[in-house]
């Protein structure tokens, strides 16, 4: 049987954990069935990530034109640069339309939405960018991960691991998902407990972050004025 190929998009300035977290989970599918899990990018050369460590894709867009699944990581400046990259967006649009499974982590859903792949679909993203997701035609939902048909999207960064386990359960069953969860020992107990969302709201952390980065993000879309006006009115 031909392996079902799942491609993880690699692009400049993405958040590394958005890629590596779910990739570590889903790569394990190769142990349990006919899956081929690869990373794909515009060129076969390292690109910078938001932690300074480079990431080099295994295949080019031309080598993986129609994967069974496509997973898109996010970031801060990275996704905005990505949606200004016509070649990258053409690949996401084409591969995403034919994929039987479409996933994202954090603001990777902004890329999917900008490609027209989330129109009218329930989806999530990092909590600071939920409104932006809605401006691109998706139906924003504030949850750890959201499934809508063949689309599964995760909230910020570490939520990608949850999304990946849910996707494994869908593709290979709960027992395989539990096995992989055990193999990677994913059983988080953060030292300060769960996020205190009331503190986040009262501290106005989100508005402060967006106010500090919006001018530079708007500049990245200088060549896409309609998109810039939609995302950053």
Residues annotated as catalytic (active site), given as ranges: 106
Q: Which two tokens stand for residue 60?
A: 């080019």
Q: 80: burial class by Cβ within 10 Å (0-12, 13-18, 19+)? A: buried
HSE (side-chain half, CA atoms, 13 Å) at 23? 18
The whole-angstrom separation of Cα 70 and Cα 8 is 6
Measured between alpha carbons, how far is 233 from 221 in angstroms, rounded to an integer? 12
- String of b and e for 92-123 (b: at least 16 CB within 10 Å)? beebbeebebbbbbbbbbbbbbbbebbeebbb
Both tokens of 155, joined, read 């909230």
């Amino acid at each position: 049987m031909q392996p079902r190929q799942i491609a993880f998009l690699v692009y400049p300035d993405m958040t590394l954990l958005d890629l590596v977290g779910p990739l570590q989970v889903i790569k394990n599918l190769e142990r349990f069935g006919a899956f081929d899990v690869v990373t794909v990018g515009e060129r076969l050369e390292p690109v910078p990530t938001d932690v300074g460590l480079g990431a080099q894709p295994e295949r080019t867009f031309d080598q993986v034109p129609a994967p069974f699944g496509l997973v898109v990581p996010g970031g801060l400046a990275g996704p905005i640069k990505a949606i200004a990259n016509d070649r990258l967006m053409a690949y996401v649009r084409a591969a995403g339309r034919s994929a039987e499974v479409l996933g994202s982590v954090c603001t990777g859903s902004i890329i999917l939405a900008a490609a027209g792949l989330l129109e009218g679909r329930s989806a999530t993203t990092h909590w600071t960018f939920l409104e932006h997701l809605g401006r691109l035609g998706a139906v924003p939902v504030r949850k750890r991960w959201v499934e809508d048909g063949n689309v599964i999207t995760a909230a910020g960064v570490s939520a990608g691991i949850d999304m990946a386990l849910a996707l494994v359960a869908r593709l290979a069953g709960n027992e395989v998902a539990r096995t992989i969860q055990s193999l990677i020992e994913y059983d988080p107990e953060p030292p300060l407990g769960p996020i205190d969302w009331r503190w986040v709201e009262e501290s106005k952390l989100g508005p402060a972050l967006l106010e500090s980065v919006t001018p530079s993000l708007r500049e990245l879309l200088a060549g896409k004025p309609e998109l810039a006006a939609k995302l950053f009115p």
